[in-house]
Amino acid sequence: MAEFDVDLFVIGGGSGGVRAARIAANYGAKVMVAEEYRMGGTCVIRGCVPKKLFVIGSHVHQEIEDAAGFGWSIGQVSFDWATLVANKDKEIARLEGAYTSNVEKSGAKIVKTRAVLEDAHTIRLATGQKVTAKYILIATGGAPNHGPAVPGIEHVISSNEAFHLKELPKRIVIQGGGYIALEFAGIFAGFGSDVSVIYRGDNILRGFDEDVRKHVRAEMEKRGITIITGCTVTKVDKHGRDFTAHLSGGSSIAADQVMFAIGRHPNVKGLGLEAAGVAINPANGGIQVDGWSKTSVDNIYAVGDVTHRTNLTPVAIREGHAFADTVFGKRPVQVDHATIPTAVFSQPEVGTVGLTEQEARAQFAHVDIYKTDFRPIKATMSGRDTRVLMKLVVDGASDRVLGCHVVGDAAAEITQAVAIAVKMKATKADFDATIALHPTASEELVTMRTPTARHVRQAAE
- Active-site residue numbers? 438
296 close to 120: Cβ distance less than 8 angstroms: no
Among residues 334, 162, 326, the alpha carbon closest in space to that of 258 is found at 162
Dihedral class, residue 302 (left if φ above 0, else alpha if ψ from -120 to 50, else beta) = beta
Residue 61 burial (CB < 10 Å; 0-12/13-18/19+)?
middle
Q: Exposure of 266 by Cβ count < 10 A (0-12 exposed, 13-18 middle, 19+ buried)? A: buried
Q: Cβ(220)–Cβ(347) under 8 Å?
A: yes
What is the H or E stretch that residue 354 is in? Answer: strand 350-354
Task: Indicate the SS3 state at residue 394.
Answer: strand
Distance CA 235, CA 252 (A): 9
Local structure of residue 169 (DSSP, 8 states): -
Alpha carbon distance 368, 360 (integer Å):
10
**Sequence-separated (6 or more) residues with CB below 8 Å from residue 385:** 222, 379
Residue 308 burial by Cβ neighbours in a 10 Å radius (0-12, 13-18, 19+): buried
- Compute the distance between CA of residue 95 and CA of residue 13 in angstroms, rounded to an integer: 13
Which secondary structure element, helix H or strand E, spans residue 276, and what is its range? helix 273-276
